[in-house]
Chain A
């Protein structure tokens, strides 16, 4: 498995502001993933982040709203921009460390937008 940490663990933000979530992994990984889990819902993939290239976004998610950085093989950030109450969710990062298919998840960032 991989040790993955996220910061912040939770935050309460005002409408119209932005929040940057950090994801740190204890070893180098090629691919990192960002998911959203809305209240009472399943996980939905936002984007896949590869080091040294632009993130690949899933349908319904755009770079202007969810810009992602991947400066090195152990770190990534996801920004939730111009937030609205509908952005209230848990945001999780994950890695496929061994290339064997299973992903390991960080503890999540619980975001509440007022």
Chain B
């Protein structure tokens, strides 16, 4: 079985400040980890993924995420938040990737204020 936890329903941050959206996972094997973003009334957009290799992965719109195997975490980060980053963020995990099903976290609403 695989599961994802996003402990924060909402994260508030001031524009220009760094942001972190937390994600922890549980899988019985090597995880493939993903972050998606959902803007209001729009579909889900892929941000970044970790498959193997460097623990720090960079994605779209200046976002990055750090894979930490010992803490089973994959937190999403951005050095300087923008108001336009305000959206719903989902962490997801699959066991082997390449067409296997994704299990999503409950989502974290990010609100960036001026």
A residues whose Cβ falls under 8 Å from a Cβ of B: 1, 30-31, 33, 41-45, 48, 58, 92, 94, 96, 99-108
Question: For residue A97, which residue of chain B has the nearest CB?
Answer: B99
A102-B46 in contact (CB<8A): yes
Total A-B pairs, Cβ < 8 A: 55
What are 21 contact pairs spanning A and B, CB under 8 A? A30-B99, A31-B99, A33-B102, A42-B104, A42-B107, A43-B44, A44-B104, A58-B101, A94-B44, A96-B98, A96-B99, A101-B94, A101-B97, A101-B100, A102-B46, A103-B102, A104-B46, A105-B36, A105-B43, A107-B43, A108-B43
> Interface range on chain B: under 10, 10 to 19, 20 to 34, or 35 or more?
20 to 34
Contact with A along B45-75 (1 / 0, CB 8 A): 1100101000000000000000000000000
Task: Decide: B44 and A92 in contact? CB cutoff 8 A.
Answer: yes
Residues of A within 8 A of B34 (CB): 101-102
Asked if B43 and A92 make an inter-chain contact with CB atoms under 8 angstroms apart, the answer reads: yes
